[in-house]
Structure 1
Amino acid sequence: MCEGLEYALLGSVEEADSKRIEANTYLTNTHANAFVRPTLKATDHQGQEVDVVANADMFRFCFIEKNRIDAFSRIAARPAARRTELIATLFGMEKFNDFVGNFNESMDAQLTLSSGRQLILAARRTALTGDQALIDGQAAQWERLATEEAALAASHKEGLAYSELAGVIGSPEAPGRLQELTTILDAVPPNVVGLTREGLVGVLTKAADDYAELAKIDGQLDALVRQVSFKELFTAVLQLQEGGADHCPACDTPLHVAASNPFDKASAGLKDLEGLGKLQDERKSAIDGLAASSRDLRGQLSILSGSLVGESEPANVIAFLDALPPEPRGAWWAHLSGDSATPEGQATLEQLLLAVDAIEARDVASRQAREEREANIVERNELIALSASMQAQDAKRQKLVDDLMAAAGRIAAFDVTNADLIVEVAQEALDVERDSPIKAAYDRFLTLLKSYKNLLPGTLMAGINGTAMELYNEFNAGDLDDDKLSALSLPETGTGKVFISFRGKPEIRVDALHVLSEGHVRCLGLAILLAKAIAIQTPLVVFDDAINAIDHDHRRGIRETIFENDRFGQMQLLVTCHSNEFIKDIQQQLPAADCKVYLFRRHSGDYQPRIRGDLPSLNYVAKAREARDSLQNRDALAASRQALEMLSEKIWKWLASHEHGEISIQLSRVGGEPGLRNLCAAILKKLRSLATFDHPNKPILINALERILGIPAPNSVWVALNKGTHEEADRDDFDGNLVEDVVVALEEMARLDLRDGR
């Protein structure tokens, strides 16, 4: 039924779209394998019957579905990234969001937008431009090279030509100054020996002096030989004392009975020989000094021996030097110093000094050669650097030659080499001209589409915050006043949140999906959809099993808000529901003429649903009137009891909305329910006592209640109203006039507007 209405009003069925099934296929009857498009007619303001033309934009918000409210209530359990589906889910915009989400951020990959081939050709032409510039400017290039070469030659010698510099550097075929210097420097220079006549004489003199000093000390010691023996004896005696001896070391006589203490005598004797010890120390130093002088002399003579050149030296000199002792001892050089006669054939000091003079002369020549070598090294290094610079300069000249030849070749071959590329560039220009407007249009379209998608929640929510909050509070009329909303802020973008404030703490703003229970979230979703329907003044609202999405605790508030409220007075409401009680409660609030009930039952084997539209009204007053008109007084009183119970509760609630809800009722027992007559009497008493309460309903209610309560309590009519009717055989008939009075009174009360605050 609802999908048929949806197809007729919108031209499509959302369930089919979400399952990606074509509408005709989805709606085709499986058993008959046929589908006939439903037709929908409506009554216009002139009372004429007209055909309804499908219009999704106009009728989209006519449908309030159970699945949509269920999905909205579960939004809080979804990840934050999917919260943007909130409005889309509630208003059935998932398909549109998917449609927008399936667009690529760019279609550049499918278009030719850049002149890649043109850039390549331009780059090649740029290179060609460089080639042409190189050829055109070659004269300046040659002049620059010539200037650099002249400066290089002048850096070596002022006025020297570059070609002359090449001759100075030379080549393997024509060696020049560089090769000459290399040959000179490759020769090993003579060493500087460093021997001098003064040095050799000084070393010899030092050795003679050290030898004479030692001889002098030895002479002094020879004169003191006996004392030296005593010193050794005294030292030995004192060493025995260090061991703690208490007897004479010579005769073993105890020291305390000996004529003299040997240890004291030894100490005194050593003190007398202190001068001898000092002389012995000097002798040791003299021996060490003589050994050092002898080694120095031996070293000088060894250098002389290794520095003799040729066979020009006397044989005795060579023999003397070859016979030098490896470890010189004593005065082996005495004959050189004149301290003893020179043996026959032995080298003399003068001969040795002449050899040293020859070596010293060679050292002078060696030092001069070394000084000249340093100058040659400097000159050679300069020529090597100039040679490297010339090689670099020659390479630059050769590179210029090569570049000029290559540039000329490329210029000559450009058009032939790039013939295919030139054709591709021409086609590319056409492709760019064709695709650039497509890109601009697509980018603008995508921007507008996303902007519309982002602004759509704000458009859908515009102006309904207040109405949605009022509806939500009315749905939850049974909640504490502090738990009702003082503010509601619906999202203005797809990424926004629903923020609320409670009357108990109006200054605190919280995320509704974080703090509301699932039942309250469902109420919020229904309130938003109804607020939207009110805002666009839709003529029809279809509750597609929506009531079953609301928990039982909230159904009363929703029923009273929708069916007892002027907001929906000009709307046609179509409700599908599995709850008989809910439908029954609705019918109590509506005149029978304003309510039509259809019963859908499953098929009985022919696959055709059974539909009944002749159902009697479930309105208690209407049922009582129908039974009374059929003279079924028992049934009329049974319905009247239900109607009176409903109306008395309604009147009491209406009085409470005007702050007159306090009444006194007598109960027959603890925990018992008040009798219906007692309740009606208490309400009547309350109405009579309200002298200052002036309301059009008041006199009508008093008159109706007085007529009903005017029937005596023992009468069978009130027995039926109080206890209900039960099967009893042989029971007296009810007074028809009294039954009629009760039904008429109920009808009068039922016609009154007893909504809260009215």
Structure 2
Amino acid sequence: MKYYFKQFIKENYSSKSDGYLFILWAVIKNIGKENRLHQSIKKELEKLDIDNFNFDKKKEISSRIVNRMKASPEKASGKDYSGLKSIQIKNFKGFGELSEQDRGTYIALNANKNIFFAPNGGGKTSFCEAFEYALTGDVKEAKRRGVNKKDYITRNGKKEEISLQFIDSQLELKKLDEHDKQFFQQCFIEKNRLQEFSLLGSKDTGVKEKDVIAILLGLTDLDELISSFAQSTSFNVLRNDIQDKIKQLESDNKTNVSLLKEYSEDLLNLKKEVFKYLEEGEEVTTETINEKADKNKEKIKEYEERIKKLSENQLPELNMETLRREIVDFKSKVNEYHELQKSLQEQVEKLNLENFYSVLLEIKDISNGKCPACDTDLENVTKNPFNKAAAELEDLKEIKRVKSKFVVLENNLLDQWYSWCIDVIKNYQTCIQCYTELSNEAFNDTINVLRNKIRDHSKQSKLKFIETFKDELEIKQSELKQFNEIYTETSKKHKNVQNEVDKLQREIKGIRDKNQVLNTIKVQITSLEEKMDKVNKENEKYEKKVEKLERLKVKETKYNSLVTDVQKAYKEFYQDLLLFKVNVEKKQIDQIGDRVLKYYQYINKNDDPSEYITKIRFVLQDNNYRIQLTLNDSNIEKDAYACLSEGHLRSLGLSIMLAVAEKNNVPFLIFDDVVNAIDSDHRANILEMIFNDKFIKKTQMIITTHDRLFWERFCNLYKRYLAKKKNEDFQISNIFSYTNKGTILMQHNVGFEDKILKALEQYDIRQALIYCRIWFETLATEYCVDKEHKITGKFSKGVPSNLLKPTLESIYDVLVDNLGSNSCIQKIRKDLINWRGQNQEHHAFEENSYNFVHSKTSDEVKIVFEAVRDLADLLFTEKQIDYVESSIQELERVFRSLEAKLNNSGFITNAPITDIEEAKEQKLKAEKSLDYYETRRGKLKMFTVQQ
């Protein structure tokens, strides 16, 4: 598929739209990964990141690749290839291995014709598919069956190994490119393709009608490529959700827009309110509000300083009448003090302290309840000394109470007097400091007296002063009156200062009220601005999202444009693909009508004249080819599928494939059981055509069949037509046999000696042992027949019912009885494979004896081989002499030919070095083989003389 798609790109790249080129890119990326390639286009579109998809760069690279493809010359069909020399197969389907050291079944191929006979299950298809896998990298039957290729070809889970050698040693499998692999697909002709062609899309095969011609021409990959695309498809991957997301985002943002509008209006109103407190031209911000508030605070501070200064000059309250009343009050309290003092003194004087003392002493001496003076019981005395003492104690209690009251009064009076003096002194000092005119000598003296008195520590002196101070004030009444008048006048003047202070205080209150309003508004503005900032941040996120979505919308539009272009281009692409398929098929079938007719008439030359076809034409209908036939020289054309039988359709299919092979000059043809798809009446014609047709007879052929008659007739015809002309041994016939360890190969009607020698030369121990065993059995059986010895046998389903199949045991018994003393027989009898591991159906590959095979060494096999060869010399001396002589003649011919070739200066000068080296190698091999057979000839002559 990839090969054809690359060719399609090569022809359909220029002047195409981006949508068309995207389809090409998506398909080439996914071809071989998915069965439905139109789905891969959709998947690539679905996961496409349009921004990171550098389509221009991809187109630039693709353009260079396509230009290189166009510039590279087309390979000529067939003429660059040679035939096949050999194949060795290991762990591929029916072909296994004996051990890990075993390199598999080695099969040398005749350069002209090869035929391989085997019953069903013998390994014929595995053999042909080994060629197909090696040459094309694919196995079509695995695809037809829907089986994974690896599972289909591997044996026992082991890695397959196929070594294929071309006759031209310069050709190597690893150097084959896609063009080579595609070309080699034309070399294979299988019965399955003929069957599908003959049934034309029947439900029995599951092959659609449109596939038939492609299958027949080996263009299944191309047809699969077409089938992997839907004729019309809708890439429903447009992306239209970005605009919806934008609308949803706008809807979600409406709340923010509304809030922002509301906050803006509130902020505007607050700013209008602030304008009342700002100067003209000032911008309303929290900063300007703070500045205004700070200025107001400074003004308040300034006013407070002025108030403080004014307050410092304010006159204290000095009222002479109040002063006089306070002095009278003090004097009254002093009188009360004197009264208490007098009362206390009187009570102390009444108290008889001597009597009180005596009583106390008497009481001290009382010890037994008797009067201390007369020893009379206390209850009988006229005056109880204890009661007398109690009366004296009551007097002391009263004295104590009066004493306490006196002390409290004294302290209160002095404290109050001290405070009063301090206030008078302080107020007077304040007055004269503010207004010097208030300074009065008389009042100054009074103040000085007070100041000195409060410094006096004597309580009695202070009390005496308080008592006499009123009288002293009375003496200075005129001076005090004068002071009072001056004070009164000064107070009137001071009222103006108070008014100013009141005014300043009112100003301060107004400013503070303004600041409070400003602070409130500032808090509200700050709150609104914070809310607006939050909304603005949300709005910024919204705008970023919208911006991102807008970018995505551009990306989406670009993507949708590409999808639309791809959708439009797909129709053009699919039609171009169909046209490409038609053109490829046309190249294959163009001008092959005469060739097809030639092969068809050859195969069916014995048909009734009414079925004779005179013209074959391929007609294009709806992008598929139909085959039109003209019968019996009439002018009426008929569809091949309408007028031919199934057998004739197979013949027609084979004719088409042979015609295409001839047109492309394929170097070899591989027939996989093809003749078994053709009825037996026509097989003789196919045989004759193989050896007589100008193209086929010169083309190397590898044919498998399970038709014994066809096999034998093929061998006979080859010997008659080609073997003698080419002076080659009859080494084209092979038999496949399937064993429990895989398919093995046996050559038919060939010299066993040469085959064993060749196997030993390649260290193919298994093949050498097989031929030793078969050769020995052949010799033993032929000896028994020639000598007419009686042997036992058994009936077998594998032979006609009236024949017996002899047992190996009876044959070997005859050899022992007649030749038991011979040294070669003794050597063979020691060999477990040839003698004791007897199993007639599977030869040396019976399960128990199979292990002997890979335990042998080449030297051990050589001993067995020489013993079998000596037995052949002993039993059939003349035949062996003839064989050796013919071998020597052929080898001498080959040797002379190679010697002449190497002595040819033109060959040495012009031939590739590989050809020269190969000729030298072949000459050495021929020389070595000549030495071997000349030695054999001498030994046989001596053996004849001895006999």
Q: For this structure pair, what is the TM-score category when the shorter chain's length is used for normalisation?
A: 0.3 to 0.5
Between the two structures, name the one with larger relative contact order (CA 8 Å, sep ≥ 6): 2
- Structure that is richer in helix per residue: 2
Query: Normalising by the residue count of structure 1, what TM-score does the alignment of the two structures yield?
Result: 0.38
